[in-house]
Amino acid sequence: MGSLWLRDAPAVPSSSLPERAEVAIVGGGIAGVASALHLARAGIDVVLLERRTIAAGASGRNDGQLLLGLGEHYNRIHGQFGADRAPVLWDFLQQNHDALLAELQRAGIACDLRREGGLRLAETPHEWRELQQASTLLAAEGRPHELLDADEVRRRIPGSAGFHGGLFLADEAIVQPARMVRGLATLAVRNGARLVTGTEVARIDGDAGAFALTLGSGQRLGADVVVHCTAALGRDLDQSGLLQRTLFPFRGQIVASDPLPAALARTFPAWAMSSNFCYEYFRLHRGRFVIGGKRWSVPGEQLDVVDDTSHDERISANLIAYAHEHFPALREIDFPDVWTGIMAGTPDGLPLCGALPGTPGAFALLGFNGYGLGFAFLAGKAIADMIADGAPGHPALPMFAPRRFRDG
C-alpha cells in the first residue's frame, strides 16, 4: 500500500557499497537525507544506508505540511517550556523553515511547494480560547499571524462548517513530500554523498573511529562516526540502549479523495490546515482532498503499530466522516486512496538531535513526534556541524540533546 506521493516521485539510484566511510548514516528519510546533504557539503565522506528506498518510510507517507511549532499551539509550547525557551524553540523552527524553503527554491526541486500559509482550526470553544491565547503570545513577540473568527473562517474557506475560529500562520507551506526528500537526496549525491538503498543494517559494533556496521546481507561497512536516522524502527542498533528506552512508534493514516470538480477545488485554499490540536490535518493536492489523523478514535491509538503495509478501516471511516461534517460538499466525493506511515515519539515531545551518550562517535537525529518536515533540515545541518567541527550551534540544540534521557 503506497502513498499518493511515492507513486509520483522519481526513484534515486543506489550507489555501490564501499568498505569504509568517514560517516555512516542509517535511514533514508528526511533526517538521514538532510544529514547526508550537509555532511557532503562540508566535504565529509558520507554513506547513507536505507533498507527500502529513499523516503519509503514516514517521509514519503505524511501529509506534506511544513508547519511551525511542531504541531503545538504556541500557548502550549510556552506552558511546557517556559517563556525563556519557547521563543528559542520557535526561532529554530522558523529558521528550519526558511533554510529548507530557500534550498528547495535554489535547487529547483520540483515538489509542488506552495508557501501560502497554514491554518489551525478550532473544533471546540475551548480550542478557540487556546488559539486566542497563542495569538496573544505570538503578538507579544512580534511573530506574524492572524486570528480568524468563525465568520472569517467561513469567508476564507467557503463551504466549511463547524469551526469556532482559526489561527493563520503565513509562513507555513505544503509540499509533495516524497518528491521533496528524493530531490534533496539527489542534491546530496551531487555533493558527493553515497546513498545505498535496499540495504538493511542488522548490527552496529565499536565506537568512534572504529565502527563496524553489519548488513543483513552479511557485508560490512567500517565508519568513524555513525548517525542513527531510523525513526523508531532501528532502536536496537543503538548499543547504549537509549533509543530503545526513549523512542516509541505509532502509526498515522491518511485518505485521499478523487480529484474534486474544479469549482469545488477552488473553494479550498492552498494552505496546510488542521484542527483538534493538529490531530486531524488536511490539504489539497492537485485537486484531491488529502486528510490524516483520527488515530485516537480507535482503541490503542495505533501506539506500537509498526506495519505500514496495512491500514485500519475504522480510521478511514472516521476521517471521511470528519471530511463530510466539516466540508459537506465532499459527501459526493469518493476517497479511493489510503495509506499509513510509522512515526517516532519521545516522552517530552521534542526530537533527539545530537551525540548519543555512552557511545563515542554515535549521533542521533530522530523522534520528531509526527512533525519531522518542519524540523529535520536545519537539524541535519546541526548534526553535520557537530561532526565536522564540534560547533556549539543553535541555542535551541540543548533542548534536543539525547543526553536529557541518559538516566532513563
C-alpha cell of 11?
526513484
Q: Considering the rule CB under 6 A, would residue 201 count as an interface residue with ligand FAD?
A: yes
Which of these ranges, 16-24, 43-51, 150-158, 309-317, lies near ligand FAD under the rule CB under 6 A?
Answer: 43-51
**What does each C-alpha distance from 87 to 69, 78, 95, 142 come to in angstroms?**
10, 8, 12, 11
Among 6, 12, 23, 30, binds ligand FAD (CB under 6 A): 30
Q: Which residues, other chains included, contact 292 with Cβ-Cβ below 8 Å and sequence gap of 6+?
A: 62, 63, 252, 253, 254, 255, 280, 281, 282, 319
Q: How far apart are the first and last CA of the chain?
A: 36
The identity of residue 111, as a single letter, is C
Q: Considering the rule CB under 6 A, would residue 29 count as an interface residue with ligand FAD?
A: yes
Q: Considering the rule CB under 6 A, would residue 59 count as an interface residue with ligand FAD?
A: yes
Smallest distance, ligand FAD to C-beta of residue 136, A: 25
Smallest distance, ligand FAD to C-beta of residue 221, A: 11
- For ligand FAD, the nearest residue by Cβ is 29
Read off φ and ψ for residue 94, nearest 5 degrees: -65, -40
Smallest distance, ligand FAD to C-beta of residue 402, A: 14
Residues 216 to 245 in contact with ligand FAD, rule: CB under 6 A: 229-231, 233-234, 237
- What 3-state class would DSSP assign to 377? helix
Nearest to 11 by CA among 54, 52, 63, 64: 54
Read off φ and ψ for residue 363, nearest 5 degrees: -125, 160
Q: Which is nearer to ligand FAD, 34 or 260 (CB)?
A: 34
C-alpha cell of 247?
523512542
Q: Taking the CB of residue 249, how many other CB atoms lie within 10 A of it?
A: 18
Among 62, 135, 246, 275, binds ligand FAD (CB under 6 A): 62
Residues 157 to 176 in contact with ligand FAD, rule: CB under 6 A: none
Which of these ranges, 64-72, 108-116, 117-125, 383-391, lies near ligand FAD under the rule CB under 6 A?
Answer: 64-72
Residues contributing to the site for ligand FAD (CB under 6 A): 26-32, 49-52, 56-59, 61-65, 67, 200-201, 229-231, 233-234, 237, 252, 254, 281, 292, 341, 343, 366, 368, 370-374
